Each structure stands twice: as structure tokens, then as C-alpha cells.
Amino acid sequence: MAAAALDDELERYVRHLTVERRVAARTLVLYRSALATLAAAAARDDLPLREAQPHHVRRWTARLREQGLGPRSIALTLSAWRGLYRWWGREGLVAHNPVDGIRAPKAPKPLPKALAVDQAVALAQQAPPTDSPVLAARDQCIVELLYGCGLRVAELVGLDAVASHTAAGWVDAPDATVHVLGKGRKRRSVPVGGPALVALSRWLALRGEMARADEPALLVSQRGTRLSASQVRSRLGALAQSAGLPTHVHPHMLRHSFASHLLQSSGDLRAVQELLGHASIATTQVYTQLDHQHLARVYDAAHPRAKRRG
């Protein structure tokens, strides 16, 4: 992106951002563009920038929306404008900040991405792309615990093989339960299903071949130490690719899939909330929208009058 041309006064503000604020180069480019937009809007209205009032800023913001600028881009633009007037205010060049109180339109929250049931099952059944039976058992355990228990990746890698007073979380295979320490240091217990138990038992039987003797972590790397979240993401991505899934799969997508598929089958929002460890049921309710999308797809595919929806 070419640097936007600014007058001397705005260039002085950019130098302030560069030297005193040490703003990142990419942010400076975006702020330059936003300041050029501000200068052009004021010039169009034949208005000196320092005389701008809130109603001017509202009108200029409305123009940005009419031009198709998205909520996030408008928010960044307003942030650049607000910073300029705040700086001028500190220098005594303006009496008030006309951008204060002006908010960008709310950006719609994207729905969480979940796999279809057949995709999740295909991923869980896919043989890991490795010749090592130990690595294969570990990777299979990763998938089954993420999808079968709805764990966050941090909760997964924080699990220890056995309970202790220092463990953030641990697995209790005889009780078919995983105990985790979630967000806000909130503990919860999640049942482990049959396939996940099989994968867990298989991995526990081989774990000693890879783990260091003093390593408490359930999941370990080839160096014998606790597996990292980035390593889990990498292994899961490779497994999804070998399974031929038409989308990038990350650990949180399996948590979304766990919640969505459980809600589709049970309709029990409160139970799903408890299993996910959400403090508020409003966080869990987003999965009802995914459930509605699933029902709409079923309707479109199966009902003889579905074409009327088009």
C-alpha cells in the first residue's frame, strides 16, 4: 500500500506516532490512510479540520458506510481520527475531541466453525500420517479427547497422566473422566466416551516409550516433554489433510464440533454449557444457531417443497 500524502500538520502527528508512540509500521500505513480520508472529507465540506464538530464526524462516518467500508475498518479509522484530536487537545489546539462518543457500527460476530458429523468421525477414524505406532497412538488420543470431551487446547496440553496436588488437570481412566482447569481457573469434570477411552488406553500403554521418567504430562513430544499447543495444532492439521477434509481444522474447531453435535442430538443447552465450562449460557447459545443451520440444510436436502425457500 502506497503511503498516503498528508499536509504538514498531519505529517507532524504521524512523526509523533512514529517517534514517541513507536507505532508499528503496518499500523502507521493504516493511520495515514485514515488521516488522508479525514482531510478529504473536511475539504469536501470546505471545513478546517480543527473546527470539526461531532455532527461532521457522524456524517463522514456515514459516508464511509455508504462506500462499503466494514465495521472493523471504520473502527480503525475512527481510532486514528480520535487520536489526532486527542493530541491536538493536549497541545491546546482544539477545545474538544469531536470523535469522542462516535462509535463504529457493530461487526456481526461470526459463528464458530464446526465440522459436519461425518467429517468429525472421518477425522477420528483416520490413521495418523506416521510410521511410528507410538506417535500414531498419541495423535489418535489427541483427536479423541478434543472431539470426544470438547476440551480447549490449553486444557488438553495441561493434562497430567495421573492426579497430583500440582496437576492443572488429569485423566481418570478407570472412572472414564477427565478433570480440567479451564478459563478463570474454573475446574470441571468431563466424561470420556468409549472410543476416547480406547485411544487413551492405547496411548497410556505406549507413553512410557516416549515420555521422560520425571515428566507428568499426559501428552508428550518426541523429546519426552509436555506437548505444546502449537505442536497439537500442527499434528491435527496434518491429520485433517491426510483425511482429505476440505477445510483447515484447528483444535477449537473440534470443541465447536463437540458442542454442536451434542446439542443437535440432545437439545440440552444447560448440559452442553456445563460440559464446555462456559460461565454464561449466552456463550453456549451461539451453538443453537449452528443447530438451526444444520436443520435448514436437512430441510433443503430432504423436503419436497424446500425449493420454495430459494
State the SS3 of the chain.
Answer: CCCCCCCHHHHHHHHHHHHCCCCCHHHHHHHHHHHHHHHHHHHHCCCCHHHCCHHHHHHHHHHHHHCCCCHHHHHHHHHHHHHHHHHHHHCCCCCCCCCCCCCCCCCCCCCCCCCCHHHHHHHHHCCCCCCCHHHHHHHHHHHHHHHHHCCCHHHHHCEECCCCCCCCEEEECCCCEEEEECHHHCEEEEECCHHHHHHHHHHHHHHCCCCCCCCCECCECCCCCECCHHHHHHHHHHHHHHCCCCCCCCHHHHHHHHHHHHHHHHCCHHHHHHHHCCCCHHHHCHHHHHHHHHHHHHHHHHCCCHHHHC
Q: Is 278 a catalytic residue?
A: yes
Which one from 32, 138, 152, 207 is the annotated catalytic residue? 152
Which one from 21, 65, 183, 187 is the annotated catalytic residue? 183
pLDDT at 298 over 60: no
Half-sphere exposure of 244 (CA within 13 A, CB side): 3
- Rounded average pLDDT over 229-254: 92
CA angle 172/174/178 to nearest 5° reads 25
- Rounded average pLDDT over 265-283: 84
Q: Is 152 a catalytic residue?
A: yes
pLDDT tens per residue, range 21-66: 888 888 899 999 999 999 999 999 999 999 999 999 999 999 999 9
Specify which of 112-121, 124-133, 215-224, 294-303 reaches the highest per-range mean pLDDT. Answer: 215-224
Question: What pLDDT, on a 0 to 100 scale, did the predictor assign at position 53?
Answer: 95
- Rounded average pLDDT over 236-240: 93
Q: Is 294 a catalytic residue?
A: no
Q: Between residues 250 and 298, which one has the greater pLDDT?
A: 250
pLDDT level of residue 309 (50, 70, 90 thresholds): very low
**How do beta strands 169-172 and 159-160 pair?**
parallel
- Rounded average pLDDT over 266-270: 84
Q: Is 56 a catalytic residue?
A: no
pLDDT at 72 over 80: yes
Question: What pLDDT, on a 0 to 100 scale, did the predictor assign at position 23?
Answer: 84
Which one from 82, 86, 252, 294 is the annotated catalytic residue? 252
- Rounded average pLDDT over 264-277: 85
pLDDT tens per residue, range 167-177: 889 999 999 99
pLDDT at 2 over 70: no
Q: Tell me how far CA of residue 97 lies from CA of 27, 51, 78, 152, 239, in angstroms.
A: 22, 10, 12, 43, 53
**Cβ atoms < 10 Å from Cβ of 295:** 11
Q: Is 287 a catalytic residue?
A: yes
Q: Is 255 a catalytic residue?
A: yes
pLDDT at 115 over 60: yes
Question: What pLDDT, on a 0 to 100 scale, did the predictor assign at position 308?
Answer: 46
Question: What pLDDT, on a 0 to 100 scale, did the predictor assign at position 269?
Answer: 83
Share of residues in the chain with pLDDT > 70 (%): 89
